[in-house]
Structure 1
């Protein structure tokens, strides 16, 4: 079986035999896979009238467990956006009826963002469809191979997640 990356690697080996193009074997495939998955996720979310960022915020609230509420600070740390961006996102989600705000009883100046019933139904349905699609992608890979692939990808990703991009050399 061949894919687009095989041709790309062969061309670079021919044009630049002085370089080790082996990283392309893995990372170009990861990059291409990410693009395919991003398109598929957007399609699934669109079916549920959600933007990817909306799903991310709603999913973070849903994973938090009952009562499905978090501070805006917790949400922005989990979704890696700025406070201004998170405020805008919460405003938009509240206007759509997917979340509500309430005063934080432990912080007089703070608020808590709570997943509404509609938000919970929408994120649950989108997640079920997303997982069904992702399972269809992985169905030909044995369980043990999935676990090994997950472990290998984790070993690549964990150090990147721990070190901010501006500190990497």
Structure 2
């Protein structure tokens, strides 16, 4: 039974990895300031995927997996993965905010001599949304790491793949 529960979690992590690939592709478009409409749509879809993954998690029985955690663990796998998925959705939303800011305000750096105060202010707003997205990414990476510190122990004992926080 534990193996079946672990396989269900692994499938959820595969879905998370697919979302991560879409996120990275969309962020690349925004960084290069090309096809921003596509990037915005992809980032919005990725955020919805993460929320759907979180909903799927709530229906999984993980009781046998939690028994396999080291004795000192205070949080179960569900709580850790829920947190990682929520933080990932927050990151997706923050990058979506950055993409929309670039779409609305342009992609100029605002650091060029002779740029109007208005253009400089727009560039600063875009830069601020990017910093917010990077902070959100750091938070989600930490949450994923906390989950994977526990999950990878269980997965390796059951013969399943181990993951890195940068893959999901």
Name the TM-score, length of structure 1 as normaliser.
0.30
Higher strand share: 1
Higher helix share: 2
Bigger relative contact order, structure 1 or 2, given CA contacts below 8 A and separation 6+? 2
Greater Rg by CA: 1
Name the TM-score, length of structure 2 as normaliser.
0.31
